[in-house]
Amino acid sequence: MKRLSIVALAAGAMALSLAACSSDKTADTNGLKQAGTTTAARTTNPVASTAAAPVVQPPADAPTSATAAKKTSAPAGAQTTCSDFRDLTEDAEKQVIDQVLAANPGSFLAGSPNVALGTAKLACLATTYANTPVAVAIRVAPK
């Protein structure tokens, strides 16, 4: 019991000494900043420019639309490749995953279409899987 009291007393003393030794750096730096500056220097108004900014033109070979149109249906169903999968809408991606899971019953992703969809989205980001079927990329079908 005496050891526990001594340990608690030592920990309290150490915490107190560390708190007393720390310095308040914010008060020191604020005092230095205030001594070297004046109020007039801190309250200047920004000057507005009257010159018009030049218009930036896109390069001549830039595509006209910001994003390519997404496909609404899978071209090969369960045999869809990752490059085709990336070009599908969200609904079409879900349909492909449902077809992949239906074509491969008993896989470790069976019954988890959301997990399979997330896995397919991540796996198909890799350029090495561009020509690989989605089912193979998410490892529910053999190569």
Condensed to tens digits (0 to 9), the pLDDT of residues 36-86 reads: 555 555 556 666 667 777 777 777 776 665 556 666 666 677 788 999 999
Q: How high does pLDDT run on average in the chain?
A: 77
User: What is the sign of the dihedral through the CA atoms of 88, 90, 92 and 93?
Assistant: positive
Q: How many residues does the chain have?
A: 143
Classify each residue of 83-102 as buried b or exposed e, where b means 16 or more C-beta atoms within 10 Å of its C-beta.
Answer: ebbbebeeebbebbbebbbe
Q: Token digits for 101?
A: 């899971």
Between 41-50, 95-104, 111-120, the lowest mean confidence (pLDDT) is in 41-50
Q: What is the pTM of this model?
A: 0.50
Give the span between the Cα atoms of 61 and 42, in whole angstroms. 48
Better-scored residue on pLDDT, 7 or 94: 94
H helix intervals, the chain = 2-21, 25-36, 39-42, 82-86, 90-103, 113-123, 134-137
